[in-house]
Amino acid sequence: MAKSSAPTKRPAPKAAARGGRPAGLFTWVAVGLVIVVVAALVIIKVASGSSSPTATNFQAADPSVVSELTSIPTSTFNAVGVNSSVVAVTPPSLVKGQPSLTTTVNGKTLPEIFYEGGEYCPFCAAQRWTTIIALSRFGTWSGLGNMSSYSGDVYPNTPTFTFVKAHFTSKYVAFKSVEAYADAIDPATGQYQLLQVPTKAEQKLVAKYDNATYIKGASNGSIPFFSFANKYFVAGASYTPAALAGLSRNQIASGLSSTSSPVTVAIIASANYQTAAICSLTNNRPSTVCQSAGVKAAKKVMGIK
């Protein structure tokens, strides 16, 4: 990550598999294909804040699909708990003794949840389902866009959303996101196209925590990366993107109120884990969410009182 406002060489992006195990920029290697990559480095100017999106093909998410993600019955969360027996689900990692990550919203200091990922990334694709659902229990979303992971990477065309224009409003927590890379290759460099640039503070945050020192199994610069106010961290997807293979965005969303699908159970179990992490930041508010049976089950596994 760049550390100044001067033109800086930016490293090639990495993706992280479930549980933080790394997969490289072109993860075709993982499935036995040989790729020749032009290893040109891109020189960019790092702005003082996140840059504007360079992508021009933004497609707003269908409001009915967003509604399905953000109106899942409490009974579904409670029925699932963390019992995903078919698809393994990994909870966020607790890291003690770190300075709290906060931000000021309308004059009020709130715990901050920070995300960095890339639109091309299938592991980011899987994780966004979880995060959108979990955060919707604490506030409201706007500006979500449709996205699928890059067609030439491992787990191609994983259906998902993008945070590139998203906004989350809550009286409990703040959410900030950086979609660092688009879902297309820059032919001049052979790397994924740059999309948004993190602030210098965000760069320092990622540089410090996005590694195995703080997150077991993580590699330096793995994505997706999440900091839950520097108390809990995620590097990689909480469940394998393979679970979403062959399904459309609408199919996944329409099944989220049912507990009969292993896909739904994996997403909901992961959302309960993230909800439990967020509740630890909000003093268990709202109580209707944080004292629900599904969240209590996640707290028990995570050691949260």
Per-residue pLDDT for 287 more than 60? yes
- Cβ atoms within 10 A of the Cβ of 40, count? 12
Q: Are 249 and 146 in contact (CB under 8 A)?
A: yes
Most confidently predicted of 15-19, 257-261, 296-300: 296-300
Q: Where are the alpha helices (DSSP H) in the chain?
A: 63-70, 74-80, 122-135, 200-209, 249-254, 262-279, 287-290, 293-302
Q: What is the pLDDT of residue 20?
A: 34
Q: What is the pLDDT of residue 257?
A: 87
User: What is the rounded average pLDDT of the residues 19-44?
Assistant: 30
Q: What is the pLDDT of residue 13?
A: 53
User: What is the rounded average pLDDT of the residues 282-305?
Assistant: 97
User: What is the rounded average pLDDT of the residues 266-280?
Assistant: 98
Query: For residues 274 and 245, what is the distance between their CA atoms, to the nearest angstrom?
Result: 23
Q: Are 105 and 113 in contact (CB under 8 A)?
A: no
Average pLDDT, the chain: 85
pLDDT confidence band for 305 (50 / 70 / 90): confident
pLDDT digits (tens, 9 = 90+) for 152-183: 999 999 999 999 999 999 999 999 999 999 99
Query: For residues 148 and 252, what is the distance between their CA atoms, to the nearest angstrom?
Result: 13
Tell me the two tokens of residue 194.
């740059």
Q: What is the pLDDT of residue 33?
A: 27
Per-residue pLDDT for 25 more than 80? no
pLDDT digits (tens, 9 = 90+) for 179-215: 999 999 999 999 999 999 999 999 999 999 999 999 9
Per-residue pLDDT for 28 more than 90? no
- Cβ atoms within 10 A of the Cβ of 142, count? 12
pLDDT digits (tens, 9 = 90+) for 209-258: 999 999 988 888 899 999 999 999 999 999 999 999 999 999 999 999 88
Q: CB-side exposure of 242: number of CA atoms within 13 Å?
A: 9
Per-residue pLDDT for 43 more than 50? no
Q: What is the pLDDT of residue 128?
A: 98
User: Which of the residue ranges 36-40, 156-160, 172-176, 300-304 would you say has the lowest mean pLDDT?
Assistant: 36-40
- Boundaries of every domain in the chain: 7-48+58-302
Q: Are 236 and 82 in contact (CB under 8 A)?
A: no
pLDDT confidence band for 56 (50 / 70 / 90): low
Query: For residues 122 and 270, what is the distance between their CA atoms, to the nearest angstrom?
Result: 16
pLDDT digits (tens, 9 = 90+) for 94-141: 999 999 999 999 999 999 999 999 999 999 999 999 999 999 999 999
Where is pLDDT greater, at 263 or 1?
A: 263
Per-residue pLDDT for 2 more than 50? no
